[in-house]
Amino acid sequence: MARQKSIIKLHGTLGDITFYRSKDGYMARERGGISASRINSDPKFQRTRENMAEFGRAGKAGKLLRNSIQSLLRTSADPRMVSRLTQQFVKVIQEDGVNPRGLRNVIDGEAELLQGFEFNNQSKLSTTIVAPMTYSIDRSTGQATVALDPYVPTDSIIAPTGSTHYQLVSAAMDIDFEVVSYTTDHAETAILPLDPVSTTASQLSNSLPAGSAHPMFLIFGVNFYQEVNSQFYELKNGSYNTLQIVKVSGTP
Chunked in runs of 10, what are the mean pLDDT values of the chain (252 residues)? 60 64 70 62 68 91 97 93 97 95 94 97 95 96 98 96 96 97 97 97 97 97 94 85 97 80
HSE-CB at 203 with a 13 A cutoff on CA atoms is 11
The CA–CA distances, whole Å, from 87 to 54, 120, 182, 242 equal 11, 15, 21, 20
Cα–Cα distance, 95 to 140 (Å, whole number): 26
Neighbours of 71 (CB within 10 A): 12
| pLDDT value of residue 13 | 67
Give CATH for domain 114-249. Answer: 2.60.40
For the chain, domain boundaries: 1-33, 35-113, 114-249
**Residues 35, 39, 44, 48, CA torsion sign:** positive
Neighbours of 251 (CB within 10 A): 15
pTM equals 0.84
Query: Taking Cα atoms as reference points, which of 112, 114, 92 lies closest to residue 249?
Result: 112
